Amino acid sequence: MNKKFHFLDDGGEMGRLMREKDWSLTPLGEPNGWPQSLRITLNIMLNSPFPMFLFWGNTLKSFYNDAYRPILGDDGKHPKILGLNGKEAWSESWSDVEPMLKIVTEKGESIWKENLMVPIFRNGQMEDVYWTFSYSPVKDEAGCVSGVLVIVTDTTEAVLAERRLKESERRFREVANLSPVWIWITDNEINIQYSNRALLEYVGVENESDFTGQVWIDVVHPDDLDIVFKGFGKAVEDESGFTLEYRVKRKETGNYEWFKVLGAPKFEEGKMVGFIGTAMNIDKQKSFSDHLKKEVDIRTRELADSNDKLEAMNKELQSFAYISSHDLQEPLRKIQMFSEVLMENEFDKLSTSGKVKFEKIQSAANRMQSLINDLLSYSRTDTEKRVFEIVDLKDVITDVKNDLGDELNHKHGKITLLKSCKIEVVPFQFRQLMYNLLSNSIKYAKSDVSPEIIIDTAIVKNAKSIDSSLKNKKEYVQITITDNGIGFDEQFAEKIFEVFQRLHSRQEYVGTGIGLAIVKKIVQNHFGVISATGKLNEGSVFVIVMPKAQ
């Protein structure tokens, strides 16, 4: 090829292919013999960023540029159709293409088509491709049509996307019209653009086109219009969703019913263009809510009366505690004192029956003293001020062991602490808790076996698995107290923590039946839990789980 023809110098891949092709084997001959109109058209086409295709001459030889090249895909026509006759190059779609080419070549008229489906062979198979294109005549020096210039865009993706969008919209409308919930779309000015069948039927509008703009103003209760405008206005200002409750007139009855309306902003290309939302009829719930509110008001007043009565009872209980700690104990101490004097000075003068009666008087007085003391301890666990401090369990156990020294020595008992820990507690309550549990284990020891009590501790981090009232994020201490005493039947595991509950007669084991109830209340005051397991004649296990730090 003669390189002096610069009209083929540029054009990327297609310019190179045209330069390298042996045109002497074609009816066009060497490029130095090509007409000026062909050269100019090819030069324009090769340097254009728009996809272009040229049919030239009587046989409509094929030329195209780099921008057109992707339209042909892979494993298809490229590059063999370069220079081929139109009918040969486009045999699969020639019946569609030829009539349009004749309009241009024979009449010299331009034509334009949008989204026209013309199948072609590309990517190894036949494909239905949509095109938007123009066919324009290219005239030679004599003014005759010598070629057809095609400027084309493959719009297949756009066409299919639009079809998918329409199908999606069709399905949306289909589903929306089946929904009993209102579905609506508006613009920024609250002009209705779409409303589903349930909404239209409620307001008595037959056609969707009749319920547009701000027709909704006519069906919203006049007293609620301000709620609507303010709600939507704030949503526009904040660009956020909203929830409103207002009344809407039902066409069928003329009555207003309550609706709960939820809306959210609708954005296109980052700009808010309106709202989409739903509405649900809550008239029955609203009526029920109003009724419930009245009931709650009544119950609240009743509760206030009950609280007043409870406060009065608490004052009475406080008076009882005062009487228990002062007025009741004073005559009780005198009974005990005079009984002791009589027993010491007049015992020998009493008959056998009198001696037994005086011993019963002393025993009953001592039991009453224990009961009063335990009742006071039980009531104080709630009323006394709680000041938490960090204590070492080892120090508390040592202190309690000293207090229980006589009982331990008498029964040859042993208390062993395997592992100590520090824990934040109300010191005097925690000491009473440990005292009650350890003294309980000593009290209920077997008559022929020395009591052995083992105390162990462990850190618990998944406390909720032990009891749902505990928190996994908090660190707990588990204190386990195991003894070898008489134990108890498993069915009484909860009952033993109740006030005045005894599993044995007073003749067998002394006590008031309040000790373990005090223990449970103290554990609750420390936001912990306690449980017990036991087997008859094998012993008991008490497990306390309390926060390591409050």
For the whole model, what pTM was predicted?
0.43
The sign of the torsion formed by the CA atoms of 226, 228, 229, 230 equals positive
**Domain termination site, one of 121, 156, 191:** 156
Residue 171 domain-assigned?
no
CATH at 457: 3.30.565.10
Per residue in 8-29, pLDDT (tens digit) is 877 889 988 998 898 988 889 9
Residue 492 lies inside a defined structural domain of this protein: yes
Verify that 145 and 183 share a domain, yes or no.
no
312 burial via Cβ count (<10 Å: 0-12, 13-18, 19+): exposed
Do 68 and 216 belong to one domain?
no
> What percentage of the chain exceeds 70 in pLDDT?
88
The answer as to whether 111 is a domain residue is: yes
Residue, of 507 and 160, whose pLDDT is higher: 160
223 shares its domain with 97? no
- CA dist 404 and 406 (Å) reads 6
Q: What pLDDT does 510 receive?
A: 46
The band of 314, judged by pLDDT with boundaries at 50, 70 and 90, is low
Strand segments (E) across 165-283 = 182-187, 192-195, 242-249, 256-268, 271-281
Which strands make up the sheet holding 52-56, listed edge to edge? Answer: 61-64, 52-56, 145-154, 130-139, 111-117
Instruction: Give residue 47's domain range.
Output: 6-156
- pLDDT at position 246 is 93
Residue type, 512: T
- For residue 217, being part of any structural domain is answered with yes
Asked whether residue 371 is domain-assigned, the answer is no
User: Do 454 and 409 lie in a common domain?
Assistant: yes
Complete edge-to-edge strand list for the sheet that includes strand 476-483: 414-417, 452-460, 476-483, 539-547, 529-535
* Mean per-residue pLDDT, 343-355: 76
Same domain, residue pair 141 and 199: no
Please report whether residue 47 resides in a domain: yes
Same domain, 184 and 91: no
pLDDT digit string, tens, across residues 92-134: 999 999 999 999 999 999 999 999 999 999 988 999 999 999 9
Residues 405 and 439 in one domain: yes
Is the pLDDT at 511 greater than 50? The verdict is no
pLDDT per residue over 282-295, tens digit each?
Answer: 988 888 877 778 87
> 15 in a domain, yes or no?
yes
Work out how many domains the chain is built from and give that number.
3
Domain endpoint, select from 281, 305, 335: 281
Q: Are residues 257 and 127 in the same domain?
A: no
Contact 202, 183 (CB under 8 A): no
Say if residue 389 is in the same domain as residue 474: yes
Same domain membership, residue 144 and residue 12: yes
**Are 226 and 268 in a shared domain?**
yes
- pLDDT of 411 > 70? The answer is yes
Residues 85 and 224 in one domain: no
Predicted local distance difference test score (pLDDT) of residue 307? 77
Asked, for residue 286, whether it belongs to a domain, the answer is no
CATH code where residue 211 lies: 3.30.450.20
Domain termination site, one of 281, 303, 328: 281
